[in-house]
Amino acid sequence: MSAPTATLSRHPDRPVAGVLWMLATGLNFVAVTGIVRYLGTDLPAAQSAFIRFAFGLAFLAPTLVLTLQRGFAPGALQLFALRGALHTLAVVLWFFAMARIPVAEVTAIGYLNPIVVTLGAALFFGEKLALRRVLAIGVAIAGALVVLRPGLRAIEPGHWSQLGAAVSFGLSYLVAKRLTGIAPAGAVVAMMSLTVTIGLAPFAFWVWVPVGLAQLGWLGLVAVFATAGHYCMTRAFACAPMTVTQPVTFLQLIWATLLGALVFGEAVDPMVIIGGALIIGSISYITWREAQIKRRTTPTVAPTDI
């Protein structure tokens, strides 16, 4: 998930390419949300999520076979299982929310994932939580309250579900961070697909309803766009520092708002845009501060071909 600190200066520093790759990332992920929104509630959330991950598992089958052949470091299987359980819960909650609340609101609340990661890193990994980071987290929480507006409107089950998804995804990413220290990145991704598919299977079969070919095709596209999104994001991080690419993720909220308005007839809610801007602004600040600290404490490494 993250390279050793000393490799940070290896960035070829291609900010335009990094921004373009991150733009592609956002468009791919908005396509995912749009398709799931289009499918609506005809399929149960667990079943839709299971079919999506089964397609993804097929894409990653070669990597998975190599991973299983090579074996695992001590303790890795337990961490893979824990991450699979957390991610299973997260995707079910996300699919549930996506079919019930506006696309822009799902996207805005989803920006809380990095905040959960920041808090979890302090609680579980002992990372320092400086005052500036605490204030930035407070701004992000304020942004979430602007989006939800409790007391001024009803908080629907879909909102609670997406909040739960944000927390679960954040915890899953924390486990992934620990796994990258003992397993290759490809193995981490492949094992996530395997464990989530297995974790979703009993819930999916419990609520299974007949699936049409069109629905299967759409969920296959979800897997394609999700895979493409993660690939583009990886390329973005390889081209430029996160301080350059992170603010671009706010455009995903713009695309999601336009999608909801133009395709699904959802009203444009300025408060969702404002709240999302507060959240992504705080995330960008935390990213920038961490980059500044690492730049001061990390020796420069001459660029090398990898």
pLDDT at 205: 93
**Average of pLDDT values for 248-267?**
83
Q: Is the per-residue pLDDT at 295 higher than 80?
A: no
Instruction: Read off the tokens for 167.
Output: 């927390």
pLDDT at 67: 83
Helix (H, G, I), strand (E, B) or coil at 150: strand
- pLDDT tens-place string over residues 156-185: 899 999 999 999 988 988 888 788 778 887
Domain ranges of the chain: 5-295
Write 297-302 long-range contacts (CB < 8 A, 24+). Answer: 298/5, 298/6, 298/8, 298/9, 299/6, 300/9, 301/6, 301/7, 301/9, 301/10
Q: Is the per-residue pLDDT at 37 higher than 60?
A: yes
Residue 214: which pLDDT band, with cuts at 50, 70 and 90?
very high
- pLDDT tens-place string over residues 228-247: 887 887 677 677 766 667 67
DSSP for 214-249 reads HHHHHHHHHHHHHHHHHHHHHHHHHHS-HHHHGGGG
